Amino acid sequence: MDAQRLSELYRAVVMDHHRRPRGHGAPATFSAQAYGKNPVCGDEVTVYLIPCPQGGWETRWSGEGCAICRASASILAESSRGLESPGQLAEEVLQHLRQTTPETEASPTLPESVKALGGSLAAAPSRRGCAVLPWTVFAEACAKLLEKP
């Protein structure tokens, strides 16, 4: 696939998640939460971890931000659903997002939407902080969950 078509695909995935965010809204109850703000652009995100009745965790989020931040939070909620160890995903995604360049080959274990998010950063590296914020906050919420007795 040529670079132009790939860029269009990345934009389509990011805009779909921005316009129709998954997991948006604060839950009534949760087991762990964390909050973060990007002082450079004003993005704010709170991430909540909720135990799923069938096992694993559900992630929800609330906050305000640009299209990339909202899309990243939505991709986070969709990608982490039902995971037994969500912190492992957080580490892998953060590493991917922080190191993404046009030449970066994404890990085959990453969800396609995460790869698309990383691809969008290759075209707009100044927006890296916007994409990383929800995942950093997610990692903090996961760490808080591990601290609980």
Q: Is residue 22 helix, strand or coil?
A: coil
Query: Would you state the pLDDT for residue 6?
Result: 58
Q: Is 116 exposed, middle or buried (0-12, 13-18, 19+ CB in 10 A)?
A: buried
Query: Would you state the pLDDT for residue 85?
Result: 85
Query: Would you state the pLDDT for residue 54?
Result: 87
Query: Would you state the pLDDT for residue 141?
Result: 96
Query: Would you state the pLDDT for residue 78?
Result: 94
What confidence tens digit (pLDDT) does each residue in 107-132 have? 788 888 888 888 777 767 788 899 99
Query: Would you state the pLDDT for residue 102?
Result: 57
Tell me the percentage of the chain whose pLDDT exceeds 90.
Answer: 50
Architecture of the domain defined by 3-147? Alpha-Beta Complex (3.90)
Name which of 59, 98, 66 is nearest 81 in CA terms.
59
Domain ranges of the chain: 3-147
Q: How far is CA 141 from CA 50, 87, 99, 102, in A?
A: 11, 9, 22, 30
CA–CA separation, 31 and 109 (whole Å) = 27
Query: Would you state the pLDDT for residue 46?
Result: 98
Query: Would you state the pLDDT for residue 4?
Result: 64
Report residues of the chain scoring pLDDT below 70: 1-7, 9, 100-104, 123, 149
Q: What is the pTM of this model?
A: 0.88
